[in-house]
Amino acid sequence: MSRFICNGLARISEYVPGEQPRDKKYIKLNTNESPFAPSPAVITAAAKAAAGLNLYSDPEQSELTSVCAKYLGVRPEEVLMTNGSDEILNYAFAAYGDKDAPFVFPSLTYGFYKVFADLYNVPFREIPLKKDLSIDIKDYFDTGANIAIANPNAPTGLLLSVKDIEQIVCKNPSRVVIIDEAYIDFGGKSCVRLINKYDNLLVTRTFSKSFSLAGGRLGMGVASEELIKDLKKVKYSTNPYNVNSMTAAAGIAALKDADYYLSNCRVIAENRDMSGAALKKLGFKVTDSSANFLFVSHPLIGGKDYYLKLKERGILVRHFDKAGASEYVRITVGTAEQMQKLIKVTEEILALNGGEKAENI
């Protein structure tokens, strides 16, 4: 860092994205991307939009917002499209957090919550998970703080029910509750319908996972019209043209081709369950994930060692060097062939550590 950086920024431990190495070809199971390419209609729409890149994109994203609202069953005034869901989370911490309005979130969850709190100098408290890594909803009753919860949680993959979410929202009427549904399409039920009942609920979604657009950077916030106006104030104070024309075209086409993507989500869920069962046969502890990833640990090999041994053999997974997570790795669910390769390589690694092969995988 230079000698000019302000003290507030210098002290922040920034978010560390997953590896994107270029030294060789890997089976990439580390950043929760979809293993499936966008549909042909999406690729065509994005390519067609490229011809108009000499002009600014629509700052209101009127067509995209309308199509998205229809897909979600809400009004366009209740949706704000953003550059990935990270941007809507950024807006929310900027809009609702300050020294008098702290945040709470789980001690093991998406790392950007802490980063955004630090960035805006917002006091925060991390609430420990239960021994089984699940969230105790009672810990989030009457907190006196804004709340951010990923559902399913990351990196554990564990899911809260809509009933659980509603209890948290109604127990904190004077604060904003953010429910981050980045992984909801892989086995959960969205709580978007609750925005019509509670004016303090903000649901965030992304196209990166279930809609195969991680490289397109498209997300959204869904909330009461009043909350959306708050978030638009942040948007128009920072980056009015936040969604580029090609991404907007891709997003519209993806929503119109939703059956293709939801079918892929079902395949990923099947691959997740198959791979989780195989890893359990190999002696792994596997959380009951409702996301597009598995969170696993093994008594014979530490999380970091397992991650490194897989990387040596051309498979990337994610290891978090953090209390409560260091013995685990997070494995993005890929194609059936990719997951079969992971199981085979894992058998070889465990054999070198005194383990046995799984039967009937």
Q: Answer yes or no: are the C-beta atoms of 147 and 172 closer than 8 Å.
A: yes
Provide the whole-model pTM.
0.95
Residue 140: DSSP 8-state: G
Residue 1: pLDDT band (50, 70, 90) is: confident
Q: Cβ of 317: how many Cβ atoms within 10 Å?
A: 25
Return d(Cα 149, Cα 142) in angstroms, integer.
Answer: 15
Judge whether residue 75 has pLDDT over 90: yes
pLDDT tens for each residue of 255-290? 999 999 999 999 999 999 999 999 999 999 999 999
Judge whether residue 358 has pLDDT over 80: no
Q: What pLDDT is attached to residue 117?
A: 98
Distances 149 to 89, 121, 269 between C-alpha atoms, Å: 11, 19, 22
Judge whether residue 55 has pLDDT over 70: yes
Q: What pLDDT is attached to residue 352?
A: 84
Q: What pLDDT is attached to residue 354?
A: 66
Average pLDDT score over residue span 16-30: 89
Judge whether residue 361 has pLDDT over 70: no
Residue 355: pLDDT band (50, 70, 90) is: low
Residue 360: pLDDT band (50, 70, 90) is: very low
pLDDT tens for each residue of 304-337? 999 999 999 999 999 999 888 999 999 999 999 9
Return d(Cα 239, Cα 243) in angstroms, integer.
Answer: 9
Phi, psi angle pair for 80, to nearest 5°: -130, 120
Bridge partners of residue 22, in order along the sequence: none
Distances 293 to 82, 89, 348, 359 between C-alpha atoms, Å: 24, 22, 22, 23
Mapped onto helix, strand or coil, the DSSP state of residue 139 is helix
345/360: higher pLDDT: 345
Judge whether residue 216 has pLDDT over 70: yes
DSSP H helices, 193-302, are 225-235, 245-256, 258-281
Judge whether residue 351 has pLDDT over 60: yes
Return d(Cα 346, Cα 82) in angstroms, integer.
Answer: 39
